[in-house]
Every structure is written in structure tokens, then in C-alpha cells.
Amino acid sequence: MTVARRFTVTGQVQGVGFRWAAQGEADRLGLVGRVRNRTDGAVELTAQGEERAMQRFADWLEQGPRWAEVVDVDVEPIDLFEATSFEITR
């Protein structure tokens, strides 16, 4: 079953390669969507794919890349959307 989620990741998550690492993990899991830095210091991701892959992605976000210090990951379901890849945006 295909699901879509919005994740908001807080902590030391900007300036540590989080967006690029998230893109790589999403690609590895076959997810589509986007990731961007927010002005409040958080990283926001929208992702869509198979439910099991989405859970693995959510688990990965709890840790992030090696230099990140994730404090919290907020998750909310969203409507399915059109995308063909996982993009880094501003």
C-alpha cells in the first residue's frame, strides 16, 4: 500500500549533510518526495512510497546522518502526490 507522510526533524540537522543523506536513503528505499531546510532550523521532508519502506525511512530519520543530532521527528499523514524522484529543495 502506498502512503505519504510529512516529517519535521528538529535538532542539529542543518549544516550536517542531512538533506543529501536523506535523499540517498529515500532513493535506496524507493521513495519519492522532497526535503528542504526550514528557516526555523528544522528539516522538512515529504515522502511517498510503500508502507514498509516509509517505516524504515522514519526509523532512519530518528538518527539521521552521522553528524546530526536529532531531537524530535514529527510525522503526519498527507495526501498522495505526484512525484517521480526524491528532490532536495530550498
Is 10 strand, coil or helix? strand
The C-alpha atoms of residue 27 and residue 8 are separated, in whole angstroms, by: 19
56 is a catalytic site residue: no
Catalytic residue among 5, 19, 36, 66: 19
Selection from 1, 5, 2, 3 nearest residue 58 by Cα: 5
The C-alpha atoms of residue 22 and residue 28 are separated, in whole angstroms, by: 10
6 is a catalytic site residue: no
Element at 62 (helix H, strand E):
none
Catalytic residue among 6, 36, 37, 56: 37
Q: Which residues are catalytic?
A: 19, 37
